[in-house]
């Protein structure tokens, strides 16, 4: 709808995916270490904020989950409230693992 030519959208369980991608997205179904272990090996590029990684929507206190991540993961935590002002989004974050 927005005219992107170099994008493939897949809606499948991570366990079913064999291909490699620049970006993997998900929502709060697993802990951060679980999604990092499951989807991390599906990434083509690692280690560059602009290049890709895992974008995961999750809420609450994520301190312990972030602490349990493999030390090689970098984490950027952006409050969803940056874009949406409704109370529902106050403790929701986009977590970028790269």
Both structure tokens of 36: 């990092």
CB 88 within 8 A of CB 74: no
CB 17 within 8 A of CB 8: no
For 24, the enclosing helix (H) or strand (E) is strand 23-27
pLDDT in tens, the chain (98 residues): 788 888 877 788 777 888 888 888 888 889 999 999 988 888 887 666 677 899 999 999 999 999 999 888 999 999 999 999 999 999 999 999 99
């Amino acid at each position: 709808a927005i005219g992107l030519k170099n994008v493939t959208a897949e809606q499948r369980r991570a366990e079913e995916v064999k291909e490699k991608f620049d970006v993997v997205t998900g929502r709060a179904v697993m802990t951060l270490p679980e999604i990092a272990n499951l989807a991390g090996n599906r990434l083509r590029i690692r280690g560059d904020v602009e290049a890709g990684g895992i974008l995961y929507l999750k809420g609450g206190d994520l301190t312990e989950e972030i602490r349990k991540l493999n030390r090689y993961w970098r984490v950027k935590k952006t409050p969803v409230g940056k874009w949406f002002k409704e109370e529902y989004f106050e403790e929701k974050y986009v977590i970028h693992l790269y």
